[in-house]
């Protein structure tokens, strides 16, 4: 029975388009109900805001997860963790840049803490126990990683991972890379706000929204809009 279930799950994942299979022309040709027409850029006024960078698989879902949290002023999809400056989506997809699909979060620490962001990331936003894979998306560009800016942030991350492992929430230990932040490169415009612009796509409905819904129901107290 387990083999049958695993086989059916594998077929389902194969049948869904992966994040990496989406091309600019296709993305720009489709329109869904527009919640926002362009990327959520870095805020023009960042006074009083802090910045955090997370990588948890395809950035379409990760961006939306953080956009829905109170205190988050903007979440920008992009690339981080590698060595190639200003990479393109296609270059990152070759797995030779070292970059992961990441999201840069601009938030008000008076409304939401770095610890709360970390808890959302590790407990609901993705599976932190699968190296180089999230659902149907395979490769190091989909790895789980967090890029800290201060020793205090690293301490928060290490402690959060420790609590998650101790809770046995997952069947395996957390494998998330905890690395010092170096650089973040914003992704192409058509990736920004992708989930809201293309809500009817099978990948969005069956993969991305599963993550978003998990966060909504796990952390309702942190949402901008209550369920």
Q: Distance between CA 163 and CA 201 in Å, rounded?
A: 35
pLDDT at 108: 97
- Classify residue 177 as exposed, middle or buried by CB count within 10 Å of its CB (0-12, 13-18, 19+): middle
What's the alpha-carbon Rg for the chain, to the nearest Å? 17
CA distance 51 to 146: 12
Residues 6+ apart with CB under 8 A from 2: none
Residue 26 has pLDDT above 80, yes or no: no
**For residue range 40-71, what is the model confidence (pLDDT) as tens digits?**
567 888 889 999 999 999 999 999 999 999 99
9's enclosing H/E stretch is: helix 2-15
Name the CA dihedral angle for 146, 223, 133, 55, rounded to a multiple of 10 degrees.
-30
Binned at pLDDT 50, 70 and 90, residue 19 comes out as confident
Contact 60, 208 (CB under 8 A): yes
Section 3-21 average pLDDT:
50
The answer to whether 53 and 146 have CB atoms below 8 angstroms apart is: yes
The residues that are catalytic are 58
Nearest in space to 92 (alpha carbons), one of 46, 48, 58, 44: 58
- Identify the pLDDT of residue 22: 55
Amino acid 16: pLDDT: 53
Mean pLDDT rounded to a whole number for the chain: 87
Domain 47-220, CATH number (from 3.90.78.10, 3.40.718.10, 3.40.30.10, 3.30.1060.10): 3.30.1060.10
What integer pLDDT is reported at residue 42 of this predicted model?
78
pLDDT of residue 8: 38
Reported in sequence order, the residue ranges of 30-132 that DSSP labels E, i.e. its strands, are: 50-56, 72-80, 100-107
**Structural domain spans, the chain:** 47-220
Q: Over the stretch 139-189, which tens digit does the pLDDT of each residue have?
A: 999 999 999 999 999 999 999 999 999 999 999 999 999 999 999 999 999
Percent of the chain past pLDDT 90, that is, above it, reads 78
Provide the pLDDT for residue 20: 67
- Per-residue pLDDT of 203-221, as tens digits, reads 999 999 999 999 999 999 9
pLDDT at 15 over 60: no
| Cα–Cα distance measured from residue 214 to residue 222, given in angstroms and rounded to the nearest whole number | 13
């Amino acid at each position: 029975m387990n083999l049958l279930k695993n086989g059916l799950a594998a077929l389902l994942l194969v049948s869904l388009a992966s994040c990496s299979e989406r091309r600019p022309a296709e993305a720009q040709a489709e329109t869904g109900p527009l919640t926002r027409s362009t990327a959520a850029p870095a805020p023009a006024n960042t006074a009083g805001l802090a910045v955090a960078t997370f990588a948890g698989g395809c950035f379409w879902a990760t961006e939306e997860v953080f956009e829905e949290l109170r205190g988050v002023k903007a979440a920008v999809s992009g690339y981080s963790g590698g060595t190639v400056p200003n990479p393109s989506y296609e270059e990152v997809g070759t797995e030779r840049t070292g970059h992961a699909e990441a999201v840069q979060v601009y938030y008000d620490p008076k409304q939401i803490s770095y610890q709360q962001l970390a808890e959302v990331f590790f407990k609901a936003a993705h599976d932190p126990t699968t190296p180089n894979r999230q659902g149907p998306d395979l490769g190091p560009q989909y790895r789980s990683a967090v890029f800290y800016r201060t020793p205090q942030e690293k301490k928060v991350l290490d402690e959060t991972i420790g609590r998650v492992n101790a809770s046995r929430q997952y069947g395996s230990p957390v494998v998330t890379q905890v690395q010092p932040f170096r650089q973040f490169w914003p992704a192409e415009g058509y990736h920004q706000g992708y989930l809201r612009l293309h809500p009817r796509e099978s990948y969005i409905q069956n993969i991305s929204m599963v993550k978003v819904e998990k966060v909504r129901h796990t952390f309702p107290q942190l949402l901008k809009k209550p369920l």
